[in-house]
Amino acid sequence: MNKEQIEQFFATLKAANPAPETELIYSSVFELLTAVLLSAQATDISVNKATQRLFAVANTPKKILDLGQSRLESYIQTIGLFRSKAKHLIQTCQILIEQHNSVVPCNREALEALPGVGRKTANVILNCAFGEPTMAVDTHIFRVSNRTGLAPGKNPLEVEMALLKRIPQEYLVDAHHWLILHGRYTCTARSPKCNECQVSKCCKAPEAHKTNTVLFQQ
Cα dist from 95 to 12, 65, 99, 150, whole Å: 42, 11, 6, 39
**Is there a contact between 187 and 143 (Cβ–Cβ < 8 Å)?**
yes
Non-local (6+) Cβ contacts of 167 within 8 A are 6, 10, 151, 175
Q: Render 117-162 in DSSP notation, one character per residue.
A: --HHHHHHHHHHTT--------HHHHHHHHHHSSS--SSHHHHHHH
Query: Which helix (H) or strand (E) element contains residue 13?
Result: helix 3-16
Per the annotation, the verdict on 210 as an active-site residue is no
- Tell me which residue of 183, 211, 216 sits closest to 13, measured CA to CA: 183
Which residue is catalytic, options 120, 154, 193, 204?
Answer: 120
Indicate which residue of 14, 62, 138, 193 is catalytic. 138
Active site residue 120: yes
Residues annotated as catalytic (active site), given as ranges: 120, 138
